[in-house]
C-alpha cells in the first residue's frame, strides 16, 4: 500500500550492498570463519541492517550485547543503548519497534523471566522484534550454566520461537528470522534460542556470507497495524481500549485480537518452511527407535546414534528447528514408524516431551528423557543407556563416572 521502493542493489552508509535476501543466504559465496557463538551473533547483526539494538549486558551468558556495541561504534547499527533492567530493555525495544525500527536484543535466563510481561505485549502489538535467548538456569540458587527451562515460558507468548543447534544455525537464522517475522501476514517477534555456553562460548567453523552484503531495510509501511498511531490500539493501550471496558463487545474484540496473533503464528509456518527448509530435519526416519530433540540435544543425539550403530541398534533423529510454529504434522509423519521415541532435554521438566506427547498418536511411545539440567552436560552415552535400557538391552551404569 505504501509508496515502497526497492533498495536492492543500493548501498548503505558503510558501503554494504542491500542484497536480495534469498540470494544472499543461498547463493552468495560463504567464507569459513572460526568464531564463538557470541561473535557469530555480532557477524549476523553486521549484515542485518538493524536500526536499534538495546542491551542489558549484565549477563555473563553471552558477550553478544557488548560485541554489538562495537558494531554501533563502527557504524553498522543505527542506535544502541543500555536499559536499566531487562524489563526496561524489552519495553524500550517495543518503543523502537512501534516507531518503525528493525530492533534486536539479547537476553538469557533470569533476564528473560524478568522481562516476560513484555513478550505477549510485543506479540499482541505485532512488533517484529528479534530477541536472542542464550538459555541458562532460571531458578534459585542462580546458575549461569546452560538450561533450557526458560523456553517453556516463551511458548505461549505468541512469539515465534526457534531453537538453534549450532553457531551456523544461529548465523543463518538471525538473518532469515527477520525475513519471516517481518512478513505482513506474520509480523511477530521472534525468540531465537540457543543453549548458552555450549553455543555462545565455544568456537566453531561458521560459513559467513560476504561482509559487503546486507539485508534490505525494514519497511514499516507493510505492518499489519498502523505505525506509531498514538490514538489507536495497540500503541494506545490503556485509555478507551478494551481493558477499561466491561461489555461483550470489548471482550469479543480482545478475544479476536488474541486469535489474530495466533493466526499470525500459523501463517508464519509457510514462510518458516521456505526459509529454514522445513520446520524439522530428519535422519533415518524409517527407524523403529527415534530421538526427537531441539538445540544442542540434537548434536548429542546424533552422536548417540553413531554409538548405537556400532552396537547394531538403528536409530533415527528428528531435529526440531521451530517450536512456534509447532511442527505437529511433520513430527507425526516422521515418527509414524517409531516404536520408541526418546526426547533428551537440557531441563528438568521435559517440556519438549510434553509437546510431543500431545502431538502424536500412541503417546506411550514417548520416553521423556534423558534429562540433565543446572548446567550439566549430556554425554551421548546416557542417551545410549536410556535407549538400551528401554529396549531391554544390557547397559553400563554411568553413575560412577568421575569417581
Partner 1 sequence: MTQYRVLPGPEHFLPPAAASMGIYLPNPGEAHINGVIVPEEKAYEEAARQFLSAQVPTIFPGPLVLWAWNEKAAKKAAAVRSLFETLKECVQPGQKPMLIPMPDYRPKYPKINPEVEINPNHPNLTIWHNKIDCCMFIGVHCHQANLSLKIIRGGTSCYTVAMCAQAGHEDAMLSFRDATVEKILKLGEWIRKLKGTVKPRLAAAKTGASN
Query: Cell numbers of 290, please?
Result: 527415534
Q: How many helices (H) and strands (E) does the chain have?
A: 13, 16
Tell me whether residue 116 is exposed, middle or buried, using C-beta atoms within 10 angstroms of its C-beta: 0 to 12, 13 to 18, 19 or more. middle
User: Which residue from 66, 228, 263, 358 is in contact with partner 1, where contact means CB under 8 A?
Assistant: 263
Q: Return the number of the residue (95 or 226) whose C-beta is nearest partner 1.
A: 226
Contact region for partner 1 (CB under 8 A) — 19-27, 82-90, 132-140, 216-224?
216-224
Determine which helix (DSSP H) or strand (DSSP E) holds 192, and give its type and residue range.
strand 190-195
96 to 135: interface string for partner 1, x by CB under 8 A: ------------------------------x---------
> Judged by CB under 8 A, which stretch of 48-56, 99-107, 181-189, 361-369 contacts partner 1?
181-189
Minimum distance between the CB of residue 188 and partner 1, rounded to whole angstroms? 11
Cell of 84: 536499566
Does 396 interact with partner 1 (rule: CB under 8 A)? no
Identify the burial level of 401 via C-beta atoms within 10 angstroms of its C-beta, where 0-12 means exposed, 13-18 middle and 19 or more buried: exposed
Cell numbers at 76, concatenated:
553498522
Residues 356 and 341: beta-carbon distance below 8 Å: yes
Q: Which three cell numbers stand for residue 265?
A: 503464528
Q: Closer to partner 1 by CB, 155 or 391: give it.
A: 155
* The only residue of 184, 217, 328, 374 in contact with partner 1, by rule CB under 8 A: 184
Choose the binding region for partner 1 from 98-106, 108-116, 202-210, 266-274 (rule: CB under 8 A): 266-274
Least separation in angstroms between CB 49 and partner 1? 21
Of 242, 230, 47, 52, the residue nearest 129 (C-alpha): 52
* Per CB under 8 A, 211 contacts partner 1: no
Residue 1 makes contact with partner 1 by CB under 8 A: yes
| Cα three-residue angle 94-95-96, rounded to 5 degrees | 90
Task: Yes or no: say if 133 and 94 are a contact pair by the CB < 8 Å rule.
Answer: no
Judged by the rule CB under 8 A, the positions of this chain that interact with partner 1 are 1-3, 126, 183-185, 187, 222-226, 229, 231-233, 236, 240-242, 245, 249-250, 252-253, 255-257, 259-260, 262-264, 266-267, 270
Amino acid at each position: 500500500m505504501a509508496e515502497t521502493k526497492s533498495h536492492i542493489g543500493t548501498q548503505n552508509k558503510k558501503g554494504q550492498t542491500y542484497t536480495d535476501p534469498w540470494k544472499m543466504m543461498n547463493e552468495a559465496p560463504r567464507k569459513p570463519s572460526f568464531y564463538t557463538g557470541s561473535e557469530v551473533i555480532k557477524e549476523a547483526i553486521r549484515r542485518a541492517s538493524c536500526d536499534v539494538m538495546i542491551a542489558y549486558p549484565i549477563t555473563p551468558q553471552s558477550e553478544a550485547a557488548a560485541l554489538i556495541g562495537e558494531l554501533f561504534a563502527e557504524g553498522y547499527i543505527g542506535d544502541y543503548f543500555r536499559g536499566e533492567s531487562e524489563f526496561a530493555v524489552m519495553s524500550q525495544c517495543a518503543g523502537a519497534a512501534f516507531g518503525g525500527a528493525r530492533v534486536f536484543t539479547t537476553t538469557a535466563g533470569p533476564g528473560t523471566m524478568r522481562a516476560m510481561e513484555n513478550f505477549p505485549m510485543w506479540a499482541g502489538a505485532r512488533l517484529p522484534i528479534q530477541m536472542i535467548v542464550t538459555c541458562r538456569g532460571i531458578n534459585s540458587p542462580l546458575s549461569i550454566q546452560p538450561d533450557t527451562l526458560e523456553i517453556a515460558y516463551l511458548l505461549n507468548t505468541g512469539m515465534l520461537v526457534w531453537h538453534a543447534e549450532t553457531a551456523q544455525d544461529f548465523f543463518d537464522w538471525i538473518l532469515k528470522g527477520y525475513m519471516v517475522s517481518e512478513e505482513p501476514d506474520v509480523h511477530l517477534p521472534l525468540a531465537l534460542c540457543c543453549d548458552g555456553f555450549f553455543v555462545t562460548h565455544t568456537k566453531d567453523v561458521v560459513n559467513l556470507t560476504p561482509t559487503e552484503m546486507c539485508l534490505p531495510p525494514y519497511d514499516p509501511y507493510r505492518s499489519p497495524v498502523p505505525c506509531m498511531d498514538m490514538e489507536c490500539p495497540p500503541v494506545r493501550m490503556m485509555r478507551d481500549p478494551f481493558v477499561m471496558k466491561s461489555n461483550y463487545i470489548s471482550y469479543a474484540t480482545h478475544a479476536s485480537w488474541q486469535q489474530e496473533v495466533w493466526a499470525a503464528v500459523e501463517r508464519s509456518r509457510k514462510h518458516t518452511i521456505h526459509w529454514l527448509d522445513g520446520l524439522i530435519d530428519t535422519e533415518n526416519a524409517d527407524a523403529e527407535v527415534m530421538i526427537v530433540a531441539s538445540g544442542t540435544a540434537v548434536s548429542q543425539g546424533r552422536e548417540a546414534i553413531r554409538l548405537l550403530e556400532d552396537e547394531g541398534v538403528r536409530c533415527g533423529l528428528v531435529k526440531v528447528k521451530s517450536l512456534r510454529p509447532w511442527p505437529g504434522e511433520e513430527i507425526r509423519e516422521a515418527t509414524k514408524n517409531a516404536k520408541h521415541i526418546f526426547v533428551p532435554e537440557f531441563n528438568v521438566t521435559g517440556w519438549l516431551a510434553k509437546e510431543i506427547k500431545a502431538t502424536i498418536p500412541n503417546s506411550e511411545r514417548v520416553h521423556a528423557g534423558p534429562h540433565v539440567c543446572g548446567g550439566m552436560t549430556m554425554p551421548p552415552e546416557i542417551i545410549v543407556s536410556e535407549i538400551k535400557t528401554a529396549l531391554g538391552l544390557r547397559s553400563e551404569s554411568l553413575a560412577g563416572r568421575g569417581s
